[in-house]
């Protein structure tokens, strides 16, 4: 029986066979503990009714474990050099399709609506490249996608930011976006010793389960996120200063005063002190005044 890809000997053999180095620019660290990968697949609840989406399969270590359980695995790999490798390492699995594509440029909405089948659940399971974790998750959260959950490995500090509460240094626009769309929890930690090359930081597996409805009601989602992001533009500045910089061409000084007065939010506060409900109130009043 062939050893799992996620072992030091097999990973090194694959890398040598194809003359591959590790691309720092793509955040490539390969997991060499098959038990950790099996746990991730189990925590994600992947079974024969799962259509799994993987981002950055690398040499196929997680893909292989997903293929054992899922109905089908669709993996998106940006690194052209790895296509031949994946063709080889995943050749035993007929239920895997690999695309040489940047997930940020993929039309996932059309793709998933084509692949989605009644009675199946689409689950994203991925060891996300550290340098691009946030943009990928934001795309997955904000596009209208029929995704049930995302179980993703990332730097522990990024996972902490996503689950952060107001009035903490980790709390920011990322925390709000994640909590607006999903219920999030860290399901396990992964020490850096499980990888080659060893990263400088530990990792965590964050599970995000899509809410049926967003946590709070907002009049205009795009405006809500614009208000949130602007409020954290410069963390040391007040929300009033940050919002004035963002909306100076659209709102007068008088209108700014009206927004803070009507929403009941003190303009001298900083973004990190506002709850998601307060941001909703602020953006809804902002929407009303912009559309008067």
**Annotated binding residue 202:** no
Tell how strand 147-155 and strand 203-210 pair up: antiparallel
Question: Residue 91 phi/psi, 5° resolution?
Answer: -60, -30
Please check if 33 is assigned to a binding site. Answer: no
Known binding residue 119? Answer is no
Q: Is 31 annotated as a binding residue?
A: yes
**Intra-chain end-to-end CA distance of the chain, in Å:** 69
Q: Is 95 annotated as a binding residue?
A: no
**What is the spatial distance between Cα 57 and Cα 261, in angstroms, rounded to a whole number?**
50
Sorted by sequence, the CB contacts under 8 Å of residue 14 that are 6+ apart come out as 5, 20, 59, 85, 88, 89
- Residue 24, Cβ neighbours under 10 Å: how many? 10
In whole angstroms, give the CA distance from residue 221 to residue 11.
44
User: Is 56 flagged in the annotation as binding?
Assistant: yes
**Binding residue positions for S-adenosyl-L-methionine:** 29, 31, 56, 77, 102, 127
**Binding residue positions:** 29, 31, 56, 77, 102, 127
């Amino acid at each position: 029986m062939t050893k799992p890809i996620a072992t030091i000997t097999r990973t090194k053999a694959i890398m040598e066979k194809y003359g591959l180095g590790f691309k720092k620019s793509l955040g490539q660290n390969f997991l060499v503990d098959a038990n950790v990968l099996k746990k991730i697949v189990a925590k994600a609840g992947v079974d024969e009714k799962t259509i799994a989406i993987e981002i950055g399969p690398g040499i196929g270590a997680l893909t292989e474990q997903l293929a054992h359980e899922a109905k089908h695995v669709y993996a998106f790999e940006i690194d052209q050099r790895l296509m031949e490798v994946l063709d080889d390492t995943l050749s035993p699995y007929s239920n895997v399709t690999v695309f040489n594509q940047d997930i940020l440029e993929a039309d996932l909405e059309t793709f998933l609506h084509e692949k989605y089948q009644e009675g199946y659940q689409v689950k994203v399971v991925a060891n996300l490249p550290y340098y691009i974790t946030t943009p990928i998750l934001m795309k997955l959260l904000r596009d209208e996608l029929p995704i049930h959950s995302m179980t993703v490995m990332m730097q522990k500090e990024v996972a902490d930011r996503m689950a952060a509460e107001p009035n903490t240094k980790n709390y920011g626009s990322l925390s709000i976006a994640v909590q607006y769309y999903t219920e999030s929890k860290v399901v396990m930690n992964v020490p850096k010793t499980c990888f080659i090359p060893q990263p400088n930081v530990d990792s965590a597996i964050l599970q995000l389960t899509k809410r049926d409805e967003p946590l709070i009601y907002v009049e205009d989602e795009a405006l809500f996120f614009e208000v949130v992001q602007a409020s954290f533009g410069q963390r040391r500045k007040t929300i009033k200063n940050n919002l004035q910089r963002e909306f100076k061409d659209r709102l007068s000084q008088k209108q700014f005063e009206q927004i803070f007065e009507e929403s009941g939010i003190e303009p001298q506060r900083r973004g990190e002190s506002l709850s998601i409900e307060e941001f909703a109130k602020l953006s809804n009043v902002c929407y009303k005044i912009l559309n008067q």
